């Protein structure tokens, strides 16, 4: 049971990493990375949101190693797809993104697949 909890924590950290990287890019205000390339890289990589995103991905990777050591890959990996749902949900509320009905339906199908794997 503890490894299922770690799996869910890993998913949540992955979602936080994505949201943080997005916020970092918004705050960096870089529209064209290749125009003034080195100055733009500095804006991006010295941004605390981007740094947190990388740290969250690092923590997720460490958790993933523990998870893979204790759960079957064919069971654990589909749970990563929960990121689709949580990133879409948080993008709607945090970044005010429009998410179409078709996209929600697609995410629903993915969730159904994750539930079916979880019940197996």
Tokens standing for residue 103: 């996209």
Question: How large a percentage of the chain has pLDDT more than 70?
Answer: 100
Would you say 47 and 28 are in contact if contact means Cβ atoms under 8 Å apart?
yes
Chain-wide mean pLDDT for the chain?
A: 92
DSSP 81: G
Global pTM?
A: 0.86
Across residues 93-113, what is the average pLDDT?
95
Residue 69, C-beta contacts closer than 8 angstroms, at least 6 positions apart:
none
For residues 61 and 37, give the distance between their C-alpha atoms in angstroms, rounded to a whole number: 29
For residues 62 and 65, give the distance between their C-alpha atoms in angstroms, rounded to a whole number: 5
Q: What does the chain come to in residues?
A: 120
Which domain, by its residues, includes 79? 2-119
Tokens standing for residue 86: 């949580």
Number of domains into which the chain is organized:
1
Across residues 38-65, what is the average pLDDT?
91
Question: Binning pLDDT at 50, 70 and 90, where does residue 89 land?
Answer: very high
């Amino acid at each position: 049971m503890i490894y299922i909890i770690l799996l869910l924590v890993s998913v949540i950290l992955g979602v936080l990493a994505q949201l943080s990287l997005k916020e970092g890019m918004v705050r960096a205000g870089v529209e064209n990375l290749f125009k003034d390339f080195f100055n733009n890289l500095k804006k991006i990589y010295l941004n605390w949101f981007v740094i947190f995103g990388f740290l969250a991905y690092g923590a997720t990777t460490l958790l993933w190693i523990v998870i893979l050591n204790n759960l079957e890959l064919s069971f654990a990996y589909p749970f990563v797809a929960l990121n689709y749902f949580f990133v879409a949900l948080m993008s709607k509320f945090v970044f005010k993104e429009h998410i179409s009905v078709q996209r929600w339906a697609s995410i629903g199908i993915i969730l159904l697949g994750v539930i079916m794997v979880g019940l197996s």
